[in-house]
Amino acid sequence: MAEANPQTNNNRRRKHPPTFGSTVPTITKRGITTGIGEDIASVAVDDREDCPMCKKFGSGPCGDIFKRWLNCTDKHPGKDANGEPLHLTHCSELAEKLAKCLDTHADYYTSKDNEEAIKQQEKSQSQETDTLKAAWGDFVSEMEDGIKANTFTTSPFPDECIPSMQFKPSSKTGAAIFAPDVNGASIITAYIIDDNDNVLAAGSKEDMDMGNFGCVLQFDVLDESMKSATCRAIYDSDDTNVTIFTRTMLVPK
């Protein structure tokens, strides 16, 4: 079957900006860190909303070889000097093994049982998202309490790193783009809340890093009554005092 040949279905997958990242920071007496404690959840290789193949072939008898092939293609993007996709030369052995496996187990990947397995996987991913959202909610609540108690200080973003906030009223979504580094300090974490202090999005640098695009968070505009969104970002510092950069923007109607 043509669908079972990974070389003819290599739609490039791009990293999707997170709404709730998998690395929840810890607040300590020395500041805020993502290096203490375990992550609440890890992002699996087949947890890609823009990759239907990952959901279909990332489990079952060919799941392991599929993930190995997928990781190989991600490590070798682009083309060589002759215009040949790099993954075709670097990952050809894995592609052949995957194609053979998918051919051998074609019945499994077209069966109703596999469709049910995919549904169960999507359900599990939804539960992980709920867990992450709750964990980030606890972190943001602790941060906001610290701000109100003057434990943490907020200040406007420096001119050189004012984040871009974009809203799409038609789809009721938005995105915030942060500078990864400012004056030698790297971003640790960022989050977005609405005018009722609901957490719209949150992530650590590990989650948000989109390479040349900067650090990106996406979020939903929860309802029509939402008037504004506030983003806060914490950058590392040798100073033990935590300074939180903040910006509020009105939601266009």
Higher pLDDT, 155 or 70: 155
Contact yes or no for 235/189 (Cβ under 8 A): no
Amino acid at 247: R
Using alpha carbons, list the distances in angstroms from residue 63 to 57, 58, 73, 124, 142.
6, 4, 15, 17, 40
Query: To 10 degrees, the CA torsion angle through 76, 81, 82, 87?
Result: 0
Contact 160, 177 (CB under 8 A): no
Give 53: exposed, middle or buried? Use CB within 10 Å, 0-12, 13-18, 19+: middle
- Of 24-38, 40-54, 134-148, 183-197, the one with minimum mean pLDDT is 40-54
In the chain, the percentage of residues whose pLDDT exceeds 70 is 74
Q: CA gyration radius for the chain?
A: 21
Residue-range domains of the chain with CATH: 153-250 (2.60.40.10)
Which one, of 208, 59, 199, lies nearest residue 122 by Cα? 59
Q: Is 253 helix (H, G, I), strand (E, B) or coil?
A: coil
User: Could you tell me the CA-to-CA distances from 86 to 8, 11, 45, 163 in Å, in that order?
Assistant: 14, 14, 20, 35
Give per-residue pLDDT as tens, 73-126: 877 777 777 777 887 888 888 889 988 998 898 888 876 656 666 666 666 556
Helix (H, G, I), strand (E, B) or coil at 221: coil
CA nearest 39: which of 9, 18, 60? 18
